[in-house]
Amino acid sequence: MDTVRALNIGAEIDLAMFCAYLANQRVPYRVFEERGRQVLEVASQIDAERVRADFEAWRDGRLRIERAGRVPRRRIAWRAMVSTYPVVVGMMALAIMCLPATWPLDGNRLGPVLPWLTIVPVSEMGGDLQFESLERVLASGQWWRLVTPIFIHFGVVHLAFNAAVVVEFGRRIERGAGSLALLLLTLSIAIVSDVAQFALTHAPLFGGLSGVAYGLVAYVVVRGRFDRGERVWYVNPSFAIAVVAMLLVMSSGVTEWFGLHIANTAHWVGLALGGAAACVWRPRNERHV
């Protein structure tokens, strides 16, 4: 069975307590010496990423391991997650916080929060939706509106689907390219896709992380063509084909037969931006190389 090298450290570091912790956490591993250094291997890339994060947390004091190997698992897991993937965790936190903003729509009301998150302010007058021009809104300094639509979700299922994709592929980018790279990529995709969606449809009530999700998927897939030897960028080709096929189906308008209106422009723009970004910009997270 193939193994993944999680750690390659000096022989002077005592790994006894850390290995006891891994055994307590039921993480399969093996340690051996190679050229005067200690090598710790695990069964998968996911385990390797977890081991590296926990090892760093242990070394700098954020993870306390008792001699019996008993540790508060939930607290350590969350600390390691926030430390390793701060941008992914931040995006998920904002999306969850903003989820209630769309609940008044079920009662045909806008509510007090949603108009502050849409790309332009919206209001209802005589049963019609009223909104300002994007140029006037930006001139007034409301620049946050270029990004906040990505945190609007129309239901738990909508959020859950987008979150699953963003967490998986955002985590890969944050691990392989760094937190700053993921942040800049997310903001760029969000701004361009949101503006494109509004410019082509003139409908302000759209939202969701799906445009960003498509962009992150495209970035990882295309970057995998350049960095073939790094597992963090590997994506099964069948998954990439399925993503494009799903986008084609949604763009056909078939979902509108069921009353489901999808922001396909944001999806296509996000997909194109993510792929283009991987062609010209491939930073590396040297801390985890």
CATH number, span 4-84: 3.30.70
Residues annotated as catalytic (active site), given as ranges? 210, 267
Q: Domain spans of the chain?
A: 4-84, 87-288
For domain 87-288, is the CATH number 2.60.40.10? no
Mean pLDDT of 228-241: 86
Stronger pLDDT, 220 or 82, i.e. the higher one: 220
Write the burial class of residue 209 (CB in 10 Å: 0-12 exposed, 13-18 middle, 19+ buried): buried
Q: What is the pLDDT of residues 177-200, one digit of tens each?
A: 999 999 999 999 999 999 999 999
Report which of 277, 166, 145 is spatially closest to residue 211, judged by C-alpha positions: 166
Q: Assign 69 a pLDDT band (cuts: 50, 70, 90).
A: very low
Average pLDDT, the chain: 88
Mean pLDDT of 115-123: 95
Q: Is 30 helix (H, G, I), strand (E, B) or coil?
A: strand
What's the CA gap between 78 and 59, in Å, rounded?
17
Residue count (the chain): 289
